[in-house]
Amino acid sequence: MKKFSSRKKFRESLGATCQNTQWSWSWVNHKNKKIFFGASDVHEKGDAQLTLGFNWKHNLKGRANPGYPEAIRNIELVQRENYRLYTFRQFQEAMDEETGRVRITNFEQDLEQRFLIKKDDGWYAFAVGDFDTKENSLKSSEEVVYLEGSRVPISSSRIERNSRARAACLELHGTRCCICSFDFEETYGELGSAFIHVHHLKLISDSEGPHKVCPETDLRPVCPNCHAMIHRNGENRPLEAIRSLIASQKPVPQ
């Protein structure tokens, strides 16, 4: 992948535009319906990225931040117009403690597709799904205490997922979507073998540190489509609600 020397060149390579190249926090590619946000390392909270804080509308002196209105409009495009959200990590340092102004010192050029969840303090970007793992399932899930949420030291902190808990979940519940029954291996053959998202019934980001996870009661296999519908528009909908939506769309036999 070609690396670019500046955020401007990186933005241009994505075919994206913004209103103000100096102050914009987000970019848009209307042709491909994509939104791009730079996610600063200091605003990572576990596996979530604080994409837009509600208190970012004004700086510490009460003056309007020029990047905020455009960021709000781009979030609305994700919500209402089905634009896809992508983020890339960037690193910042304080420039002016009086106003809270910061300077971007570096940025990564690997994009990650994410979905939005609205919380009390702003909009968070979460990974679309769990990464697949080929780790063998444990013989007895009852013998193990699964911990998730450990903070891994980086620039700030990330929430650590437990791949063994995922493996145990798939051993208990299988790799078929528990909502719509889609099976990747049945459709894609060997390529789709053992692929499925693992959904946390309670958002892992709500934890305050390491906590016990029970693969039998806390985790469920769901396909990417159902996973996206569970969390669309910042929600964490019950599995049964999505099942009911699917059932309501099926024609009634005459």
pLDDT in tens, 224-246: 999 999 988 778 899 999 999 99
Task: Note whether 156 and 68 are same-domain residues.
Answer: no
Question: What torsion do the CA atoms of 208, 210, 215, 219 make, to the nearest 10 degrees?
Answer: 30
Task: Note whether 116 and 19 are same-domain residues.
Answer: yes
Task: Note whether 147 and 210 are same-domain residues.
Answer: yes
Task: Note whether 210 and 117 are same-domain residues.
Answer: no
Question: Is residue 185 included in any domain, yes or no?
Answer: yes
Domain that holds residue 97: 7-127
Domain boundary among 82, 102, 127: 127
> Where does the pLDDT of residue 151 fall: very low under 50, low under 70, confident under 90, or very high at 90 and above?
very low
Of the candidates 240, 217, 218, the residue with the CA atom closest to the CA atom of residue 229: 240
State both tokens at 102: 């910061």
DSSP 188-235: HGGGGTT--EEEESS-GGG-SS-EEE-HHHHEEEE-HHHHHHHHGGG-
Question: Is residue 176 included in any domain, yes or no?
Answer: yes
Task: Note whether 113 and 21 are same-domain residues.
Answer: yes
Question: Is residue 1 included in any domain, yes or no?
Answer: no
Task: Note whether 155 and 106 are same-domain residues.
Answer: no
Residue 152, pLDDT above cutoff 80? no
Identify the pLDDT of residue 95. Answer: 63
Stretch 212-234: mean pLDDT: 88
Stretch 95-103: mean pLDDT: 73
Which residues 6+ apart lie within 8 Å of 18 measured at CB?
11, 24, 26, 27, 28, 70
Residue 179, pLDDT above cutoff 70? yes
Task: Note whether 75 and 14 are same-domain residues.
Answer: yes
Q: Please list the alpha-helical segments (H only) found in the chain.
A: 7-13, 68-80, 163-173, 184-188, 215-218, 224-231, 239-249
Task: Note whether 158 and 115 are same-domain residues.
Answer: no
* Residue 224 phi, psi (nearest 5): -60, -35
Up-side HSE of residue 171: CA atoms within 13 Å toward CB?
Answer: 18
Identify the pLDDT of residue 117. Answer: 86
Question: Is residue 113 included in any domain, yes or no?
Answer: yes
Is-contact 166 172, C-beta < 8 A? no
Is-contact 216 174, C-beta < 8 A? no
Residue 150, pLDDT above cutoff 70? no
Tell me what the pLDDT averaged over the chain comes to: 80
Domain boundary among 127, 162, 177: 127
Distance CA 25, CA 37 (A): 6
Question: Is residue 134 included in any domain, yes or no?
Answer: no
Domain boundary among 65, 93, 127: 127
Domains contained in the chain, number: 2
Question: Is residue 48 included in any domain, yes or no?
Answer: yes
Is-contact 160 148, C-beta < 8 A? yes
Task: Note whether 25 and 96 are same-domain residues.
Answer: yes
Task: Note whether 148 and 117 are same-domain residues.
Answer: no
Who wins on pLDDT, 213 or 87?
87
Question: Is residue 133 included in any domain, yes or no?
Answer: no
Distance CA 216, CA 18 (A): 46
Pairing of strands 44-45, 48-53: antiparallel
Task: Note whether 113 and 70 are same-domain residues.
Answer: yes
Q: Please state the length of the chain.
A: 254
Task: Note whether 112 and 17 are same-domain residues.
Answer: yes
